[in-house]
Each structure stands twice: as structure tokens, then as C-alpha cells.
Chain A
Amino acid sequence: MGMWPQFRSPLIWDVFAISTYASVSAMFWYVGLIPDLATLRDRSPSRAGRVVYGMLAMGWRGSAKHWHRYETAYLLLAGLAAPLVVSVHTVVSFDFAVGVVPGWHATIFPPYFVAGAIFSGFAMVMTLAIPLRIMFGLEDFVTMRHLENMARVMLATGLVVAYGYMTETFMAWYSANPYESYMIMNRFGGPYSIAYWSLILCNVLTPQLLWFRRVRANVPLLFVISIVVNIGMWLERYVIVVTSLHRDFLPSSWGMYSGTVWDWATFLGTIGLFVSLLFLFIRFLPMISIFEMRTLVPEAEVREDPS
């Protein structure tokens, strides 16, 4: 084949962004596990455990020279991964924003998608961490302070997302573009208005509860809010994709969309795949970094006056 990808298209940017994000995340995760894999190798009661963890630990022995380079590598990876988070969600938003379809073609999309990713990311971490914390008795590792701070980040990024929705509405009016204003009126009162108003309820109104300290200190309520935010972020993508496409520029392509049984089965399947992999991870690997926890113990410090 003499053909090549079209490098002026955001779709190919997205291929590079997501595959880079997946590769760097996988490497970061594995590098973080190496010292813990060595601990598992040395403490495993079974031969199979020693062999498998031993191969994965690659002969790690905690040498001071190794730790020195390891920490440099870990720091550099963290520094490289941080701008990558911003870039990947920006490029995902380009998939929409570079198109001309009303409801997609908006310059607010990159920052609003980055904030949305942090918003839903923290909600998802809470959804997973709160049950694990109770089931495995991790209250001393995932403390109330962690949960409260996560709630604060959710509140702040939720406000940025709400600002994104406001800007979309404002620009629909201010641009004086009939297609843009039709798009927003269609969201407010069209056939999918129930999805739009549910989205506002989940993503804009519900997180306002997090202003209250008593809400942030209430673990079951935080869990419920995190689930609501997850649903809200799913609705956001549903609204962006479906309401814009069902009335685009060509009346011949107008129509109504609702998920078929296979659409819903695929969606449930992705949740099942994720949960299965998560359970395997919890079963076979440390869910909290062992060596990083050790550095937090008071005995881990070198005392100034050896007695």
C-alpha cells in the first residue's frame, strides 16, 4: 500500500496521543511496581510466586546506586506524564472542536475537556477507593484528609466544567449563528432535553454539595456523589455526540438515536472487563505502593544523633 495517514487530521493526532498515553502510563505503573515485586518475590511462600514475581522484579535488590537512578527515572516519568495528561484530553477534544458541526466547533473544548477528565478521574478514584478502603481496612492509608482533598478537587474542576457549559450557551447567543443557537435550544428543549438536564443536575448542581464540610466528611455521601458525577460525565459525552449529530447540516442525515441492546451490552462488557482486571490487580499485586508507604514511617528516617 502506497497510502499514508493524513497528518493534518485530529483523528490521527488522537491515535498518537492515546497510544502514547497508554504506553507511558503502563511504563510508569510497571516502574513503580519493581521494588514491590522484589518484596513479593522475597516473601512469597510458593515456588511459583517466587519465579513469577522474581522474573517481573528483574533482579531488583535495593542497591543504593540503583535507588538513586530509580528515583531520578521515576521523577522524570512523573514530569513527562503530567503534560501528557493535558495533551491527551486536549487532543481528544480536537476530535470534536476541529470539526464544523454545531456543538462541537468550540474553542472552549480543550480546557473544558481537561477539567472534565480531572473531575471524572477523581470521581472514579473515589468510587473505587471508598469500597476498597472499607473492605480491606485501609482507613489509615486512604485517610479522611485524602477523601476531603479529593472532594475539593472535584468541586473546583466541576466548577470549571460548569463554566464550559455556560460558555457554550453564551457563545451560541453571542456568535449570532442560527445553527449554534438552534443547537443549544435543541439541547434545552429538544427530544434529548432529558439527557441535558440530567447532565446539569449530575455535573453542576450535585457537586455544589461539596462546599459543605459536613458533606466532605460523610463517606457514604461522597461515594454517592462520585457515582452521580460518573453518570454525569457519561451523559456529557452522550449529549455532545448525539444531540449534535442528530441535527447536523444535512437534513438527509437527520434521525433519532437510542442505544440498541448490543450497544448496552458492549457498554456493560467494558465495565465488566475493567472490574475483572481491577480485581486481578488487587489479588496479585500491591494496591498501595509498599516502598512508598515505608518512607512515611517515622522509623524510616535517619536520626541526626545516633544513640
Chain B
Amino acid sequence: MSRPALYGLLAEFTNPTDLVAAIHKAREAGYRAMDAYTPYPVEEVSEALHVHDRRLPLIVLIGGIVGGCAGYALQYWTSTMAYPINVGGRPFHSWPAFIPITFETTILVAAISAVLGMLALNGLPTPYHPLFNVPRFALATDDRFFLCIEATDIQFDEQETMRFLQRLEPRSVSEVEP
């Protein structure tokens, strides 16, 4: 198959209820490669699209463990090997004094992992995206709700999918140039 001429077809709805109904119908019709765009998070939309991504909490957990170990290791190495100094006869490896910084580095690396992990999994920053070619798509951050069936879907057919989306009675349907 040659390169598809379109990124997909974009249907616009005026409220989240219609969008969720449209997603259910599209899934019943067999479409899978699609995404919805809303001005605020709508739990029902993610559920209807069967969005399940549980990688982020794991990334944050690993970040926290790495941060804690690195913070403790820095203090251990500094205080016992790189620069051992006798302070009031305390042992070089005086672990209770190392807890506050270990806690801080745990939180710091976990938080950085949460932010960078979220951006990376979402593919942000995205300097160019085909959807921004559709002028009406600017309303996706305002008060409109969009459903995009992507051309990569096996069932995607320009005319057929267009007719299917029209039957859902959207406010408008736009072709998305790649």
C-alpha cells in the first residue's frame, strides 16, 4: 500500500456526551486507531478509548529508588572515602545524619522522572503535528470535543469512514492533511 494521503478524519462535537457516544459507535464499527481531543480531562473518554498506560508510576518508582540510592551513595562515598573527617568522634559512616538528604534526592529524582516521563510518553514537545493543519482544531483547547480516526486503521477508507462519521451527526468533519 502506498503512503496514505491523509493523516485521518476529524469529527467535531459540541459536548463530551456526544463524543463518548461517538467513540463507542466507532469501536463497535471496528475502528481502533483513533484518539479524542478535549479541552479538559474527561475520564469517560479515556475509558471509552480503552486507554490503559501504567508505565508512568513504574518510571516514577524507579526514579525515586535511583535518587535515594544515589543520594545516600554520594554521602557515604564523600564521608568515608573522598573526604573522611572526624566530627566530634562520630563514625565516618554516620547513617542517621544521611537520612534527610537521602529523602530529598529520592523526591527530587522521582519528581523529575514524573515530569520527563510524562512528556516522553506523550511525545512532547511535538513541534509539528498534522492536526494543527485543521483550523477548527484550535477549538480543542477551548470548548469543542474532537474524535480523529487515523488513516493507519486497517478499516480506514476515505469515503467509507467519512460517511460513517457523518452518520454520528458531528458539528463538522475535516480531512487532516499529513
Bound-state CA distance A199–B121 (Å) is 51
Verify B141–A76 contact, CB threshold 8 A. no
Report the bound CA distance from A301 to B112 in whole Å: 32
Known: A4-B83, A69-B121, A91-B100. A62 touches B78 (CB 8 A): no
The prevalent SS among residues of A at the interface is: helix
* Contacting residues, chain A, for B53 (C-beta < 8 A): 65, 68-69, 72
Say whether B111 contacts A16, CB under 8 Å.
no
Q: Do residues A294 and B40 form an inter-chain contact, with CB atoms below 8 A? A: yes
User: Does the CB pair A59–B125 fall under 8 Å?
Assistant: yes
For B34, give the chain A residue with the smallest CB separation: A64
Closest to B35 in A: A63
**A280-306 interface (Cβ within 8 A of B):** 291-292, 294-295, 299-303, 306
A295 in contact with B118 (CB, 8 Å):
no
Task: List the 9 closest A-B pairs by CB distance, nearest first.
Answer: A59-B126, A58-B125, A73-B118, A4-B83, A42-B138, A67-B41, A294-B40, A8-B97, A13-B100
Interfacial chain A residues near B129, Cβ < 8 Å? 59, 61
- Say yes or no: B41 contacts A71, CB within 8 Å: yes
Count of A residues near B, CB < 8 Å? 60
Q: Which among A38, A67, A306 is the interface contact of B17 at CB below 8 angstroms?
A: A306
- Chain A neighbourhood of B119, CB < 8 A: 58
Given A65-B51, A306-B17: A35 touches B103 (CB 8 Å cut-off)? no
Answer yes or no: B155 CB below 8 A from chain A CBs. Answer: no
Answer yes or no: B36 CB below 8 A from chain A CBs. Answer: yes
With A61-B141, A63-B36 known, 6 other A-B pairs at CB within 8 A are A24-B111, A31-B115, A43-B142, A64-B42, A69-B118, A87-B104
Complex CA distance for A261 and B83, rounded to whole angstroms = 42
How many chain B residues touch A (CB < 8 A): the figure is 66
Quick one: closest B residue to A13, CB to CB? B100
**Selected interface stretch from A77-85, A124-132, A269-277:** A77-85
B39 contacts A7, C-beta separation under 8 Å: no
How close is B64's CB to chain A, nearest CB, in angstroms? 8
Report which B residues bind A (CB closer than 8 A).
15-18, 20-21, 35-42, 44-46, 49, 51, 53, 56-57, 60, 71, 75, 78-79, 82-83, 85, 87, 90, 94, 97-98, 100-101, 103-105, 107-108, 110-112, 114-115, 117-119, 121-122, 124-129, 131-132, 137-142
Q: Identify the closest chain B residue to A18 (Cβ).
A: B104
Query: For residue B17, which residues in chain A have a CB less than 8 angstroms away from its CB?
Result: 302-303, 306
User: Are B108 and A7 in contact, CB atoms less than 8 angstroms apart?
Assistant: no
Give complex CA distance A94, B111 in Å.
Answer: 24
- Complex: A170 Cα to B122 Cα, angstroms: 56
- Report B16 CB to chain A, min CB distance, Å: 5
Residues of B within 8 A of A73 (CB): 56, 114-115, 117-118
A-B residue pairs in contact (CB < 8 Å), sample of 22: A2-B83, A8-B79, A8-B87, A13-B100, A20-B108, A35-B141, A38-B141, A39-B39, A43-B142, A59-B127, A61-B140, A61-B141, A69-B118, A70-B118, A72-B118, A76-B110, A77-B115, A80-B114, A84-B107, A299-B15, A301-B16, A302-B44
Interface residues of A (CB under 8 A from B): 2-8, 10, 12-13, 16-17, 20, 23-24, 27-28, 30-31, 35, 38-39, 41-43, 58-73, 76-77, 80-81, 83-84, 87, 91, 94, 291-292, 294-295, 299-303, 306
User: Considering the chains assembled together, what is the distance between the CA atoms of A301 and B119 in angstroms?
Assistant: 27
> Considering only CB atoms, which chain B residue lies closest to A303 in the complex?
B17
**Distance of A87 Cα from B85 Cα, bound (Å):** 27
Known contacts A8-B97, A69-B122, A76 near B57 by CB under 8 Å:
yes
Min Cβ gap A172→B in Å is 26
Q: Is the CB of A16 within 8 A of B105?
A: yes
Whole-angstrom CA separation of A63 from B140 in the bound complex = 9
Docked Cα-Cα span, A60 to B39, in Å, equals: 11
In the complex, which of the residues B40, B78, B107, B132 contacts A80, with contact meaning CB atoms closer than 8 Å?
Answer: B107
